[in-house]
């Protein structure tokens, strides 16, 4: 009994800390089931990569207010989604893991506000990598709560978004000459994973005309992206980001379409 009371007290403290640190934004996640929960965990991972990208871009192009605004928007979205994930966690274990993730996020949020230089950016990359891997582990725990084959397909499509943004982040980091020795490895890992995920989705037997069309659009963009975006490429960070964002929109639509198949 005492153990349960302590657990309840810990939850209240963690959630209170979260709401004190994070502004109260309108909920974006709208979590109504395990599929939504998994998608939003992946959204946190995608946002973690975007935050790193905007951290670099707003300092490479300080006259462009867009990147500063997008950096703040991505942090706000991360806060909002994490609040709802904690509130709607489908198990005590997942709720506790999310509360741990929130503590990591509180620290990473401070790191993201440090003054930019190539060494500071290297630390940001590593802390965001840790954050998104922690979120990935939570997603894997969530997958254990469902036996639906469709959940794996949805997870793969959402994972492809993460790897796309991760690849884009490390391309930009390379062009910005960030002092991090893991850039090449993480870039190559992301590209390999993205190729594999696209192949898995393409081979899925449940594809219909809509999903096939979306996958063809993604493949065409990826052929151009993968051909021109290598660490030896001279493509500008702005061009790389534009292509990545267009692909990201296609992936978001694919995830939405797959999710509607479950309903």
Q: How far is CA 124 from CA 63, 75, 115, 181, 198, in A?
A: 22, 14, 11, 13, 29
Stretch 149-155: mean pLDDT:
89
Dump pLDDT digits (tens) for 36-92: 999 999 999 999 999 999 999 999 898 888 999 999 999 999 999 999 999 999 999
pLDDT tens-digit series, residues 76-97: 999 999 999 999 999 999 999 9
* pTM of the full structure: 0.85
Q: How confident is the model at residue 228 (pLDDT cuts 50, 70, 90)?
A: low
Q: For residue 157, what are the contacts with CB-CB under 8 A and spacing of at least 6?
A: 197, 201, 251, 254, 255, 258
Closest CA to 172 of 52, 64, 69: 52
């Amino acid at each position: 009994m005492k153990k349960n009371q302590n657990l309840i007290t810990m939850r209240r403290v963690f959630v209170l800390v979260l709401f004190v640190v994070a502004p109260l934004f309108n909920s974006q996640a709208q979590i109504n089931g395990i599929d939504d929960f998994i998608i939003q965990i992946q959204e946190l991972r995608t946002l973690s990569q975007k935050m790193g990208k905007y951290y670099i871009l707003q300092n490479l192009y300080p006259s462009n207010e867009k990147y500063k605004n997008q950096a703040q928007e991505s942090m706000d979205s991360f806060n909002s989604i994490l609040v709802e994930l904690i509130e709607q966690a489908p198990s005590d274990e997942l709720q506790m893991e999310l509360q741990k993730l929130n503590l990591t996020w509180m620290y990473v949020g401070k790191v993201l506000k440090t003054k930019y230089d190539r060494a500071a950016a290297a630390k940001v990359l590593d802390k965001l990598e840790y954050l998104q891997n922690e979120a990935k582990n939570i997603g894997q725990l969530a997958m254990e709560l469902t036996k639906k084959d469709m959940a794996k397909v949805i997870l793969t499509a959402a994972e492809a978004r993460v790897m796309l943004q991760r690849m884009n982040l490390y391309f930009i980091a390379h062009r910005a000459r960030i002092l991090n020795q893991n850039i090449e490895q993480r870039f190559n890992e992301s590209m390999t994973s993205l190729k594999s995920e696209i192949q898995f989705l393409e081979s899925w037997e449940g594809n219909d005309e809509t999903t096939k069309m979306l996958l063809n659009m993604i493949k065409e963009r990826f052929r151009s992206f993968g051909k021109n975006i290598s660490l030896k490429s001279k493509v500008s960070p702005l061009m790389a980001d534009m292509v990545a964002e267009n692909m990201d929109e296609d992936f978001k639509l694919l995830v939405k379409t797959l999710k509607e198949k479950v309903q």
